[in-house]
Structures are given as structure tokens and as C-alpha cells.
Amino acid sequence: MELSHQELFDFLEVKYKQYNRPEFIETDPISVPHRFTRKEDIEIAAFLTATISWGGRQSIVKDAENLIQMMDQSPCEFILNSDDTEKKRFESYYHRTFNGEDCIFFLESLKNIYRNHQGLEPLFITNKATGIREVLCRFRSIFLETGHPRRSEKHIADPCRGASAKRLLMFLRWMVRKDDRGVDFGLWGKISSSILMCPLDVHSGNVARKLGLLKRKQNDWKSVEELTASLRQFDPEDPVKYDYALFGLGIFEHF
């Protein structure tokens, strides 16, 4: 698709506005954390929902809702105060390859993070000398400091080994981006939207290549960097807002 820089900017802006709106929330995984008002509940619900966000959206939302229900609709309180007996209820939980063993470890790791690291937000704060890739690698290391089965490590992406980290980047978009459109939460004011990286999956990658925003064929971290650099040409302060355009074009319009 051959478009001039201005034509592509106009096109992306239209699609961003089309899909970044409350109607979009109803069928999207972000609808799950939107059911809460307490910061910590939103963070935990968002993180766990993002963790299982692969496959069909209807299945993701259903399984995320089930997970929150199993936490008695109080994610933070459950994380901090539940005992081993209460956690046994998760032994039968699964979403695709994320099983009960993985789930129980994630709950234990989140307990460690909220008790000993002041919560999720401080673990993602970066500075000019530390980019998002390094922050995600540091977060992964801390998340895995709690005893865990080896199999569970695959559910926390490692961009230092080239992973695109789509689900972690999506979680960061939810927490950091703030506008007046009612989708992203904008809870983490210490992190600038300008440093966020665009989540990349099969759909957004294919659309980005058709629009000439991405040349690299693999959906890996180098492609995340290339795509985000392209999007910064259109909005350097908020490049990942165009995630809506790429996702919507791929999922809803089969672009």
C-alpha cells in the first residue's frame, strides 16, 4: 500500500480514533480490569489478563473473568492474604498452555512483588539510560525470584533473548497511556508514553508490513523496535496509540 507520509499519518489517525473508544472495550481483554476502581486491583487484574492474552478474544475474556472470580472478585486482597489451602482452587485452572501450576506460581510471585517490592509499578519505572527492553528483562528476573516450576518461565517473555514481549507491552500500554477516550487507564504517571514500545503480534505485524511501517519479517524484539521507530515519526510523544489502528485493521477489517 503506497501512501505518502501525510496520507499514512491521516489514515493512522482515523483508525486510531475509530478503535480507541469505549465500544471497543466491551469485547476486549481490557474490559476485565475496567471492572475495578482500586489501583492495585486494576494492576493485578490487568497483569493476569494480559498474561493469558493469546488466542481468541472471547476465550481470553471468559478465562480472565473466571480467574478473577476464583480470587473472590478482590485481586489485591486475595493476593496478599490467601493461604495455601485457598490457592488449591487454582490447581484445575487453565487457559491454553497456562495451567494451574503456572497460575499458582503467578499468584505467589505477585504476593512477593506487592509485599517486598512496593507493587508492580516501581518495577517498570525507567530513565533515559535504561530502555524498555532492559526494564522488561529486569522485571522478568524479579518475577522469577520466587520459587517456580521451570515450565512457568515461558509465560514471562524475555526480550533480552529476542522475544517481542507483546503481552507485557500491552499491559504497559494499559497502565501508562492516558487520554480522554476511556480505554487505557493512565495509572502510572511516572512513566512517559513516549518511551513505550508497540505490542506486536501476527495481526499488527501483517498490517504494519502492508503499510510499509515494518520491513523485518520476524515478529521479534528487533521488529518491535523498528515498528515503534516508524510510529514515532507520526507521534513521538505517544507512538503506541497507533496500536489501535494496526490491531483494528487486522482483527476487524482483515486488512
Taking the C-alpha atoms of residue 162 and residue 81, their distance in angstroms, rounded to an integer, is 36
Sequence-distant (≥ 6) Cβ neighbours of residue 122 within 8 angstroms: none
pLDDT of residue 1: 63
pLDDT of residue 129: 64
- The cell 519505572 sits on which residue? 125
Taking the C-alpha atoms of residue 210 and residue 215, their distance in angstroms, rounded to an integer, is 9
Taking the C-alpha atoms of residue 141 and residue 66, their distance in angstroms, rounded to an integer, is 28
C-alpha cell at 76: 489485591
Quick check: 114 and 40 in contact, CB under 8 A?
Answer: yes
Taking the C-alpha atoms of residue 124 and residue 135, their distance in angstroms, rounded to an integer, is 6
Taking the C-alpha atoms of residue 21 and residue 182, their distance in angstroms, rounded to an integer, is 6
pLDDT in tens for each of the 255 residues of the chain?
678 999 999 999 999 999 999 998 889 999 999 999 999 999 999 999 999 999 999 999 999 999 999 999 999 999 999 998 999 999 999 999 999 999 999 999 999 999 999 999 999 998 766 789 999 999 999 999 999 999 999 999 999 999 999 999 999 999 999 999 999 999 999 999 999 999 999 999 999 999 999 999 999 999 999 999 999 999 999 999 999 999 999 999 989
Taking the C-alpha atoms of residue 72 and residue 42, their distance in angstroms, rounded to an integer, is 14
pLDDT of residue 25: 87
Q: Where are the domains of the chain?
A: 5-251
Residue 118: Cβ within 10 Å count = 10
